[in-house]
Structure 1
Amino acid sequence: MAVQSAREAPVGVAERARPGTAEQALRVLRSAWRPAALLALLFVAWWVVTATGLVQSYLVASPADTFAVIADKFDYFWQNTLVTLWETLAGFVLAIVVGVLAAVLMVYSPTIERTLYPLLLFAQVIPKIAVAPLFVVWLGFGIEPKILVALLMAFFPVVISMVTGLKSIDPEMLQLSATMGAGPLKTFYKIRLPASLPHLFSGLKIGVTLAVTGAVVGEFVGANEGLGYVIQQANGNFDTPVLFAGLVVISLLGIVLFALVELLEYFVLPWHASRRADAATTSM
Structure 2
Amino acid sequence: MLHCLRIGVKSTRVVLGNILIKAVPPIIFGLVLFSIWELLVQFGDIKPYILPSLRAVLRTMVDPKWRWLDQMWVTAIEVLGGYVMAASIGIALGVVITWTRLAQGILPFLVIVNSLPKIAMAPLFIIWLGYGIVPNIIIAFISAFFPVVINTATGIINIDPDFVNFARALGTPQWKIFLKIRLPNALPHIWAGLKISTSLAVIGALVGEFIAATRGLASSILHAQASLATHAIFAALVWIALLGLGLYAVVCILQKVLTPWAD
Q: What TM-score, normalized to structure 2?
A: 0.89
| Residue in structure 1 matching 2:221, options 208, 231, 236 | 231
Contact 2:147 2:197 in 1 (8 A): yes
1:159 is displaced (CA, Å) by 0.7
Percentage of matched positions with identical amino acids: 37
1:75 is displaced (CA, Å) by 7.6
Unaligned runs of 5+ in 1: 1-18, 274-284
Amino acid across the alignment from 1:224: T
Q: State the alpha-carbon separation in 2 of the partners of residues 251 and 235 from structure 1.
A: 19
Root-mean-square deviation (Å): 2.0
Which residue of 1 is the match for residue 239 of structure 2? 249
Amino acid across the alignment from 2:245: I
Deviating runs (4+, > 4 A) in structure 1?
Answer: 19-30
Amino acid across the alignment from 1:201: W
Does 2:90 align with 1:103?
A: no
Partner SS state of residue 54, structure 1: coil
| Residue in structure 2 matching 1:199, options 175, 189, 202 | 189
1:30 is displaced (CA, Å) by 4.3
Q: State the alpha-carbon separation in 2 of the partners of residues 141 and 212 from structure 1.
A: 18
Amino acid across the alignment from 2:132: G
Range that drifts further, 188-197 or 78-87: 188-197
Which residue of 1 is the match for residue 3 of structure 2? none
Which residue of 1 is the match for residue 71 of structure 2? 80
| Residue in structure 2 matching 1:46, options 9, 21, 37 | 37
Structure possessing the higher radius of gyration over alpha carbons: 1
Unaligned runs of 5+ in 2: 1-9
1:62 is displaced (CA, Å) by 1.3
Which residue of 2 is the match for residue 3 of structure 1? none
Q: State the alpha-carbon separation in 2 of the partners of residues 106 and 83 from structure 1.
A: 34
| Residue in structure 2 matching 1:137, options 103, 106, 127 | 127
1:44 is displaced (CA, Å) by 1.0
Identify the structure with the greater helix proportion. Answer: 2
Structure 1 residues 20 and 146, CA, compared in 2 at 3 Å: closer, same or farther? closer
Q: What TM-score, normalized to structure 1?
A: 0.83
Structure 1 residues 270 and 79, CA, compared in 2 at 3 Å: closer, same or farther? same
Contact 2:155 2:190 in 1 (8 A): yes
> How many residues get paired?
254
Which residue of 1 is the match for residue 118 of structure 2? 128
Which residue of 2 is the match for residue 183 of structure 1? 173
